């Protein structure tokens, strides 16, 4: 059984987004976080190399991989607790969809424009996902913390 046959058996035919040609790595879009876990567990057992991407618009397809896991179908707000100022969303949700789904539930997100601009990202691009901003923010915070904790000579 081929890799793509196994993926289709695990996640369904529509999980494989496009058929690979001779040079293309197959792209797989699991529909749920549980499906992501199932795919990654199988990839580990089978020894498959997996490249993870959001919408795939910011990364060149050059990482060595047997398949690409895209989060584009993980695009839902799964819980909103407006009284606690907490929302839970899946990693592939775009900012426009996030803002709309929060608005539909009586909540809003004020952080996006300032944080994204500070990180050099554009939340107006439809490809910016929750995972992309989180990764950029974590990277920026790590860099900031490292620079703040590095001893400097007073001379």
Neighbours of 137 (CB within 10 A): 16
Instruction: Name residues whose C-beta falls within 8 Å of residue 46's C-beta, 6 or more positions apart in sequence.
Output: 3, 6
More confident residue, 149 or 92: 92
65-119: pLDDT as tens digits: 899 888 889 888 888 887 777 888 888 888 788 888 888 888 877 655 555 555 5
Q: Where are the domains of the chain?
A: 3-70, 78-149
pTM assigned to the model: 0.68
Domain 3-70 coded CATH 3.30.43.10: yes
| pLDDT value for 42 | 95
| pLDDT value for 63 | 73
């Amino acid at each position: 059984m081929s890799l793509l046959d196994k993926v289709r058996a695990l996640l369904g035919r529509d999980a494989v987004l496009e058929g690979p040609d001779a040079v293309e790595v197959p792209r797989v879009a699991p529909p749920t976080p549980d499906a992501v876990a199932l795919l990654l567990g199988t990839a580990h057992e089978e020894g498959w190399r997996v490249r993870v991407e959001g919408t795939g618009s910011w990364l060149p397809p050059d990482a060595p991989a047997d398949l690409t896991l895209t989060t584009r179908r993980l695009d839902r707000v799964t819980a909103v607790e407006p009284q606690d100022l907490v929302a839970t969303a899946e990693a592939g949700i775009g900012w426009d969809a996030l803002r709309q789904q929060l608005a539909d539930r009586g909540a809003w997100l004020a952080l996006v424009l300032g944080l994204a601009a500070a990180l050099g990202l554009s939340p107006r691009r439809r490809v910016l996902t929750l995972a992309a901003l989180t990764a950029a923010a974590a990277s920026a915070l790590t860099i900031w913390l490292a620079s703040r904790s590095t001893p400097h000579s007073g001379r």
